[in-house]
Structures are given as C-alpha cells and as structure tokens.
Chains A and B, each alone.
Chain A
Amino acid sequence: MITSEVKATEIKYPKIFVTVGLMLISLGFLFPLFSQLVWFNIIVKIREAINAGDSGHLILASAIINFLYAIQSTILFMGTMLVISNSELKHRLKRFDIFLISLISIIFLHWTNSLVFELPWEPVSTVLALLISLFLFEKLYGETNSFIQVFIVSIQVFFAFHWLNIMPIFSAYRFGQSDVTYSVKTAGLYLHAAMVLNFSGFAFFMPFIISAFITATLFISYSRNIHMMRENYEKENEIRSMRAKALEDRVYQEVKSLVHDLKTPLVTIRGLNSLIVTANGQNKLEEYSDRIENSVIRMSEMISSFLYENSRQKLKANELISYIRAQLPLEDERIRFEITIEDMLPDIYINKIRVARAVINILENAIIVPCKHPSKLISFAVRNAANGMSITIQDNGIGIKESDIERIWEVGYSTNNTSGLGLPFARRIIEDNEGTIELASNTDQGTTVTIFLPAADAASDQTSNLQRGD
C-alpha cells in the first residue's frame, strides 16, 4: 500500500496553474474536433477488417480508439486537477469532498462533451480509470508536487482501462457500449475473432495498469529519497556549523583563560611599579626592573603562544609542570592530589601555553567527574618514557562506559553534561605538538589519561618565533 506522509509544498503563482488547467479542460473538451479525422480513419479500418476478413485491422482500430479516449480523458483529468489543486477549495474543504468534486466534475465534462459533439464515451471504463487515477493522484501529487509525473501515470491508467472496452467478454458488464467500440466487437464476433479481441485487451490492460502502479511507486520513492537527502544535507550543514561555532566558543574560552592569566604578571608589574617610587638605592631599582622585565617577557610568551598556534619552544619539562601546578586547586579539601614527578625529565619542544591548557582541560575533567567515594583522588604523575615523557592523570570517579569510550573524542559528545569540547580540544593540541593522548576507563573505578610528549631531540626541528610581531 502506498502511503503518503510528506506534505506537498505550496505552489507559487497558483493563478497561472488554474489558467493552465482551464486551458487543458478546453482542449480536452474540443479534442473530438481536432481528432475527427482520426476517428473517421477508425471507421475505415473496421470496414477494411470486414472486407478483408482480417482481425488485425480491428486490433489496430482498437489501439487508435483507446489512445484517443485515453488522451482526452487524461487532458480533462489533468485540467480539472490543476484547477482544483490550486483553487481555494483545497484549503476550505476536506479531502473526501475534494475527491467527490473532482469525480463529479470530470464525469460531467465527459458526459456533456459526448452530448455536444455526439461522440459517445465509455462511462464504465472511464469512471473506473478515474477512480484509480484520483487515488494515485492523491498519493503521488502529495509526495512529488509534479504534474508531469501525474500525467505519465494517469495516461497509463486511462489507456489500460479503455482496452477492456474491446473485450467481448466484458460487454455484459457494460464495457465498450459506445458506437465505435461496439462496431469493433461486432466485426470481431462476425470474423470469429472474439478470442483475439479478448486476449489483446487483456494483454494491453495488465502491463499498463501494473506499469502505472510501479511508475507511481518509483516516483514516490525517488521523491522521498531526494527529500531525505536534502534534509540530511541540511542537518549535516547545521551540525557542521554548530561544531564550528562550538570550537570557536572554546577558543574564545581559552582566550578568556589566557587573558585571565595575563592579569597575574600585570598585577606583579603594577605592584613593582608602585615599589619603584619608594625604592631606596639603585640595587632595588635594578631588582624591580628585572622582575618587571620578566613579567613582561612572560606576558609576551603567553600572548605569542596563543597568537601563533604552531610556534614551539624547547624548554625543560619542569617549566611546563610548574606552570600546570600553579593552576591546580590544591587548597580544595575535597580533592586530594597525588603529584609524582620523576627526576631527569627530558627537554621538550612544545607550545608551552597551549599544551598546559590541554593538560589543565584533562585535569578539570578529572575534578568535575562525579565520584562515588568519600573523597576525590586525582593522581598527576610525570615520568620518563622512551624518547620523551608521559603525563598520567588518574581519577577515582565514576568512569566512562565502554560503549562511550570511542565517542568521547567527538566534538560535542559528553557524558557529564558539559560542552563536550575539552577532550577533542586537548587531543588536537597534543597531536599538533607531535604527542599522543590515550584514555582508559573502568566504570565506577575511574579514568586514566596518558599524554606522551616527545623529547626535544626526537621532535621535528622547527624555529620558534616568539619575537615575531613584537
């Protein structure tokens, strides 16, 4: 059963379609005038069949009759549906009422046409074909909004049903009672070709009606696929732009953090500056000046590290560790930090501020993760590793489910109602600095994040440019 779930979009300029519909109705109504010569030819064919005793002429005559009836019926049908679908009736009436109006209008048009032009029509086959066409129209047009597709399907339906008119077997059911069709059957019966007519009618009816339904189904499927593809494309675009915005926001947060960190050296400078006023002696002045200089250099480093993402410096591991330790909330009594730092750590070649921010992101995750134990324990260990060093951050929180572990690196994915940006951000920074980051977790036991940073000798040789733009 074909179902229609997608609403048709509104058509622009309905008045144009109503006008086209009225023109089609006029064309369908005047069709007998345009096709008169073809109708005469059918009479000639029937005569030839009787004279020659050849039922082949009858089949040809039948095909022409059915084609003419099908075209006229289809044009009247399309015209009427164009008018009704684009008129106020569509909005004011229920579907069943519109169906009734369509049915009555088209039957009325056929009937008056036969009276005006004295060209008999086939009420039974026309009405049956009309019912099927209206059904298919409602399903097809509702999905595809395409009159061309409706035309292709409906002409097949009308053509199929009109073939039933030439079958003597259906004469008892009031098929094929018009003048010309009846002459075909009479001639066929006289020529003992009743079986030929029956078989031909069936041979044309079945494939065309099946084809009509298959065509309608294919059109509907195609339209739904296009619609889904369009929706998916729009959704993907939306997700992409949301992710980009989220990352932008994250960067902005990091900038805010950096700006916050800048306050510390600024406070130092300010404090020292006020001391300069009261300083006694050149030695004190020199000391304060050196300290101001160091604060300025620190600020400059921090700004440059952020401005120039790819810039790295060779520095001692302890410098990084000290910078990180300074950010830890060691005074929070609810959290117990176990800090282990090995001796003889190698020099590393990294962007200090950004890597520190990455590690701090991991620590912040460890701090905020819920914990079933009475107190939170976070272990921060820095050790030597082959060709580098490793930073291991372990917590005793609720852990991450195995099914979620693969997804935690996705932007926007979170198991803790957070932004879901910290881990992807940290991973990006670590990998940009030629390091690696791994995560292991057990439910209710905790999570361990291991960051590896290569030693300065093992890292790529890149020139730092801290002073660029100063």
Chain B
Amino acid sequence: MKQRLLRIMLLTILFILIIEINMPFTEKSEAKAFTLPGLPQPIAKAPIVITSAGQSTDTYIIRDISNQLMLRSFFMPQAKESELKDINTLVFVVGYSSLGTKLQSINYEEEKKRIEGLLEKAQANNMTVIAVVIEEGRFHEKKTEEFLKVIGSNSDYLIGLRDSCYEKTLAELAKDKDIPLTLVDEVGGISEPYASAFR
C-alpha cells in the first residue's frame, strides 16, 4: 500500500515537472495576421544605429544585412542615449540572451532601463524606430516578450518571423498601435522588408 502510494506520488511529481518544463513552449498561433511584404515607401533614413534588445547574437545578422544593403549604419549592441546624436533611425533587434547579457556584465533590469532610455531619446529626437524579431521556434522567452512589448509600442515598423512564438504578440501590437508589420518565412527573407524601410 505504502509502495503504491509512493509510486503514485512519484508519477505525479514527474508529470508536474514535465508540465513545468513544457510551459515555455507555445503552440502555433491559429490567428492569421495580415502583413505587408514590405513598406510601399521608405520611412527611415541613414545614419542608422543597430542595437540589441537583450544581447542575442541575432543583432549580428541584421548588421550583416545592413552592410550588404550598403546602408550607413553604426553597430552598437549596447548603445546608450548619448550615442544617438545625429542619428535618424534606431533599429532594435529584439532577443534576450542570458549568456549575452552575462558576457556584457549587465542584467535584465539594466538592459530594460537602457532600452527605455533609448526609446525616450528616439521619441524626443523624432527618430524612426524599427523593431526586428528573428527568433522563431516554440520556446517562449518571457523577457524577450517584455522587451518586444516595450519596443513594439514605440516602433514605426515591425519585422518578424511567421509561425514564431512571438507572431501573436507582433500581430496584436500591429493591430493595437496601427504599426505596419511584415512577417517573413525565414531569416534570409528579412532583407527585403528591411530594405523597403529605407528605399
């Protein structure tokens, strides 16, 4: 009897653990978001500061795209408000990386404060803000979601990946704040909508 009880308890604990581990994974969004393939006319211009919101390595992909498009841009993953002088466009690559923030010796709160400071400065200087989210897959990082909400509400253009765990958030932001949204099928497809923002 005792052994049976113990076994039931162990199985219950295992079940709870599996659910807990599984929680960050989200299912594919059923909502169909209507998105533009790109902007019909440019909304932003150089010089551009490309910065990271969360210190993930995705920022380097946007830098590479920017370089390929020969856009005059400054790559500053940890850009501060004081570094935005004479800048017309601020591009946020949203993606939280715990390792990335540790590498830069900053924590989540500090990163959030930095982002908010940049957004305030961008608003004060009438800069164009573009938010890019490259993360796809099913693992939902809450901190990335929070950054996205903060940045997205103050953005002029949103670019993301279709079928990602942030698609729903992007779609809601685009709808609520009336922000143009482009969802692409794969990482390489970001180049076109990104270019459309400038040309």
Contacts and interface: CB of A to CB of B under 8 A. Distances in A.
Nearest to A44: B103
A36 interface: yes
A179 B11 contact: no
Contact of A40 (B60, B99, B135): B99
Contacts of A186: 57-58, 61, 134-136, 187
A428 B63 CA distance: 98
Nearest to A126: B21
Interface in A160-201: 171, 174, 177-180, 182-183, 186-187, 189-190, 192
B78 interface: no
A177 B61 CA distance: 19
Q: Which one of A47, A180, A190 has the highest number of Cβ atoms from chain B below 10 Å of its Cβ?
A: A190
Contacts of B58: 183, 186
A34 interface: no
A179 B99 contact: yes
A103 B15 CA distance: 12
Interface residues of B, number: 36
A101 B10 contact: yes
Interface string A364-397: 0000000000000000000000000000000000
B13 interface: yes
Chief secondary structure at chain B's binding surface: helix
Q: Which one of A39, A42, A179 has the highest number of Cβ atoms from chain B below 10 Å of its Cβ?
A: A179
Contact of B3 (A94, A174, A178): A94
Contacts of A182: 135, 137, 139
Interface in B53-110: 56-58, 60-61, 63-64, 96-100, 102-103
Contacts of B98: 118-120, 179
A233 interface: no
Could you say which interface size class chain A belongs to? Answer: 35 or more
B64 A51 contact: yes
A27 B17 CA distance: 23
Contacts of A50: 57, 60-61, 63-64
B36 interface: no
Interface in A71-125: 93-94, 96-97, 100-101, 103-104, 107-108, 111, 118-120, 123
A353 interface: no
B146 interface: no
A43 interface: yes
Interface of B: 3, 6-7, 10-11, 13-14, 17, 20-22, 25, 56-58, 60-61, 63-64, 96-100, 102-103, 134-139, 141, 186-188
17 contacts: A40-B102, A43-B57, A43-B100, A43-B103, A96-B7, A104-B17, A119-B99, A171-B137, A177-B25, A177-B137, A179-B56, A180-B97, A187-B61, A189-B186, A190-B64, A190-B187, A192-B188
